[in-house]
Amino acid sequence: MMQTISIIRSRTVVLTHRNIDTDQILPARFLTTTSRHGLGPHLFADWRYDDQQNPNKDFPLNQVDPAEYQVLVTGDNFGCGSSREHATWALLDYGFSVVISTQIADIFRSNALKNGLLPIIVEPKIHGWLTRHAGEFVEIDLQEQSLTMANGNIVGFPIDPFAKTCLLNGVDPLGFLLQQEAEIAAYEKSDS
């Protein structure tokens, strides 16, 4: 369920490719599950493993210990394509809590925010520095909406205010919607 996020300090893993779609994040053959859990082992399956299902040594995720690397820095337009929320679940199950890119696809961003995976958009210049410094520590302060890089630079990032409240306080958007029962009933009455 909804995890709360406040301050995250972690090393980064970098995938430079642009337009990484959700079929790469979690291939469709793993969508036959009826659970939200256990998808981490299949994250980026076709890039992470070779034809024989052995780890591909060149793939960045295979070079680090997930426990120390909670921040994924990716190329532009991350999470495009399919709406599968399984992609978000797989990233979280693997151990990521933040995705940083220059642009993040709409449905993926919405799914991420609802599950406690923080999507952060940064300027290309900042993104360039982060991609050149894979493995360095970053610190993310959601309350302050700030990203502190290993060189000491601090940059702000935008986030939808409602999503911020939900993430900081563990507010469930469904609970918020359910509280609007009177308004919803009134709308249904006027629309019928």
Partner 1 sequence: MSSQTQTLFEKVWNRHVVVPESNDTPATLYIDLHLIHEVSSPQAFSLLREKNLPVRRPEKTLATLDHSTPTDPEPAARTIPIVTADVARQIQALQDNCAKFGIQLYDLDSDHRGIVHIIGPEQGLTRPGMTIVCGDSHTSTHGAFGALAFGIGTTEVAHVLATQCLLQNKPASMAINITGSLTDGVSAKDLILAIIGKIGVRGGLGHVIEYRGETIDSLSMEQRMTVCNMSIEAGARAGMIAPDQVTFDYLEGREKMPTGARWSELLKSWQDLSSDKNAAFDRQVDIDAGGMRPMITFGTNPGMVMSINDCIPEKGTDESLDKALAYMGLKHGQTLLGQKIDIVFIGSCTNARISDLREAASLLRNRKIAKGLRMLVVPGSQAIKKQAESEGLAQIFIDAGAEWRESGCSMCIAMNGDTVPRGQYVLSTSNRNFEGRQGSGARSILASPLTAAATAINGKISDPVELM
- Contact present, 129 and 73 (Cβ < 8 Å): no
Q: Give the 3-state secondary structure of 134-172.
A: CCCEEEEECCCCEEECCCCCEEECCCCHHHHHHHHHCCC
Task: Give the CA radius of gyration of the chain.
Answer: 18
136 binds partner 1 (CB under 8 A): no
CA atoms 177, 183, 186, 188: torsion sign = negative
Report CA 32 to chain centroid distance, whole Å: 22
Q: Cβ of residue 5: shortest distance to partner 1, in angstroms?
A: 16
3-state DSSP call for residue 81? coil
Tokens 């696809």 found at? 105
Stretch 2-21: interaction string toward partner 1, x if CB under 8 A: --------------xxxx-x
**Which listed residue (11, 23, 135, 150) binds partner 1 by CB under 8 A?**
23
Cα–Cα distance for residue pair 47/61, rounded to 1 Å: 9
Site for partner 1, residues 140 to 159, rule: CB under 8 A: none
Q: Cβ of residue 119: shortest distance to partner 1, in angstroms?
A: 13
191 binds partner 1 (CB under 8 A): yes
132 binds partner 1 (CB under 8 A): no
188 binds partner 1 (CB under 8 A): yes
Stretch 43-82: interaction string toward partner 1, x if CB under 8 A: ---x----x-----------------------xxx--xxx
Positions touching partner 1 (CB under 8 A) are: 16-19, 21, 23-24, 27-29, 31-36, 46, 51, 75-77, 80-86, 88, 103, 105-107, 110-111, 114-115, 160-162, 165, 173-174, 176-178, 180, 183-184, 187-188, 191
